[in-house]
Amino acid sequence: MRQLSRHVLLFLSVCTCTGTLYAQDSAGIAVHGFVSQGFLFSSSNNYLTMESSAGSLQWTDGAVNISDSLGDNLHVGIQLHMYQLGELGGSNIMVDWASGDYRVNDHFGIRAGKVKTVWGLFNDSQDIDAVFLWILLPQGSYPIDHKSFYLAHVGGDVYGALSLGKRAGTLHYDGYAGQATIDLNDGYIKQFADIGLVFTNSLGGKTYGGDLQWETPVKGVTIGSSGNAQAIDGTAPTGSVHLPPTFTPSMYAKFSRGKFYLAAEYDREPINAILTIESAVIPFVVDGRSWFAMGSYRLSKKLQAGSYYSHYVNKAADTTQPANYSKDWVLSGRYDFNSYFYAKIEGHFLHGTALGYYSSTNPNGLTPNSNMLAAKIGFTF
């Protein structure tokens, strides 16, 4: 009850404070923000470090950004973000992104600072609840408990668009290089701690990659491919982790026209890391293959409904074991009260335990299947 009051109070206070802002725009300076409060109930198992089997409200997100255009070509801004997801996140305020963006022309631009990482359909926008129908994105591709690691890099991007002519559409590109860091409140840190590797300093490594997106001449159809290489090194008092640069490809397509939205994506994450715990050297090998297909329809101005299927399997292990796969059927609905307030509800029919479960929050083990009900209310301006 105390926890419920805290979350509701936090949500209301942010709404009250920001309600008077309404995307302030003064002399070119723009202020935007969002806040959301979630609820998760699972029929069995505790999901995403929440006590979801008893119903949990430990799911709050909030961000505020300020930006300004300094002339026609230069745009600067910063976004601060705070999230609580079960035992992850917490009250720490993080810099979500902080960048300067110089667009020479429509064909070439440079973005530098802490920059959102473009990968697949949703990586850079996965924490912006307000723009999605879904409460949880397909977890095989966009694991919410690791979002703080995948979301951004410190470095630079080059980007632009090339027109291929009236009959061939437009090609959008983005290439980047920099450093990505796993902060101490991320799910990976908790997973390491669960096996005895307790990190007291952030870990991370170099990252580079790119995205190529073809806006086809067929109205509403976009096809794309991304690749990301990521290395990780970190030392804890009890051991270390080493991941050599690992390439993670993604291929995707989407169709968006009128009230319809369809999308599909295939990703692969081959991991070959070395964990050292005390004197033991443990190879950590995963060949993650994930794909999803989703569709939604806008029933009215305020109501949207949709469904997706998300599939994840670790091909490097026994794929018949629930610990090595995760298959999720999802039904979602969203109601927009107005331009600022919305509510969502979502049902998950989850088979397998490969994603989102932690041994420390499931001390009695896991059952292979779990149904879940998620709900969210949010405010954005």
Partner 1 sequence: MSKTRFLILLLASLGSWSAARAQDVVLVANKGVQISEITYTDLRAIFMGTRTRFADGSHAVPVTLKGGPVHEVFLKNHVGEGPEEFRSEWRKVVFTGQGAMPKAFDSESALIEYVAATPGAVGYVSRISSQDGVKVLAAVK
| Interacting residue with partner 1 among 13, 259, 272, 281 (CB under 8 A) | 259
CA distances from 174 to 8, 13, 117, 158, 343 (A): 39, 38, 9, 6, 33
Query: Taking contact as CB under 8 A, which single stretch among the options 12-20, 29-37, 184-192, 352-360 is the one that binds partner 1?
Result: 29-37
Judged by CB, which is closer to partner 1: 116, or 344? Answer: 116
Contacts of 306 (CB under 8 A, 6+ apart): 133, 134, 261, 294, 295, 296, 297, 331, 332
- As measured in angstroms, the least distance from the Cβ of 235 to partner 1 is 32
- As measured in angstroms, the least distance from the Cβ of 257 to partner 1 is 7
- As measured in angstroms, the least distance from the Cβ of 268 to partner 1 is 24
**Residue in 85, 103, 110 with CA at minimum distance from that of residue 7:** 85
**Residue in 195, 161, 331, 156 with CA at minimum distance from that of residue 276:** 195
Binding footprint of partner 1, residue count (CB under 8 A): 45
What x/- string results for residues 131 through 150 when contact with partner 1 is judged by CB under 8 A? x-------------------
- As measured in angstroms, the least distance from the Cβ of 106 to partner 1 is 5
DSSP 206-253: EEEEEEEEEE-SSTTEEEEEEEEEEEEEEEETTEEEEEEEEEEEEEEE
| Interacting residue with partner 1 among 82, 115, 136, 241 (CB under 8 A) | 115
Instruction: Please answer whether residues 315 and 287 qualify as being in contact, where contact means their C-beta atoms are separated by less than 8 angstroms.
Output: yes
Site for partner 1, residues 5 to 24, rule: CB under 8 A: 23
Burial per residue of 5-41, b for 16 or more beta-carbon CB atoms within 10 angstroms, e otherwise? eebeebbeebbeebeeeeeeeeeeeebbbbbbbbbbb
**Residue in 293, 352, 306, 358 with CA at minimum distance from that of residue 327:** 352
- As measured in angstroms, the least distance from the Cβ of 131 to partner 1 is 5
Q: Please state, in angstroms and rounded to a whole number, the distance separating the CA atoms of residues 338 and 324.
A: 42
Does 25 interact with partner 1 (rule: CB under 8 A)? yes
| Interacting residue with partner 1 among 59, 87, 116, 138 (CB under 8 A) | 116
- As measured in angstroms, the least distance from the Cβ of 146 to partner 1 is 18
Does 103 interact with partner 1 (rule: CB under 8 A)? yes
- As measured in angstroms, the least distance from the Cβ of 297 to partner 1 is 12
Site for partner 1, residues 49 to 78, rule: CB under 8 A: 63, 65, 67, 69, 72, 75, 77
What x/- string results for residues 151 through 190 when contact with partner 1 is judged by CB under 8 A? ----------x----x---x-x------------------
Neighbours of 253 (CB within 10 A): 18
Does 241 interact with partner 1 (rule: CB under 8 A)? no
**Residue in 158, 161, 155 with CA at minimum distance from that of residue 115:** 155
**Residue in 232, 221, 290, 287 with CA at minimum distance from that of residue 260:** 221
Tokens of 321: 């074991």
Judged by CB, which is closer to partner 1: 195, or 299? Answer: 299
- As measured in angstroms, the least distance from the Cβ of 130 to partner 1 is 6
Question: Which residues of this chain interact with partner 1, rule CB under 8 A?
Answer: 23, 25, 30, 32, 34, 63, 65, 67, 69, 72, 75, 77, 79, 97-99, 101, 103, 105-106, 111, 115-116, 124-125, 128, 130-131, 161, 166, 170, 172, 215, 219-220, 256-259, 298, 301, 304, 336, 339, 380
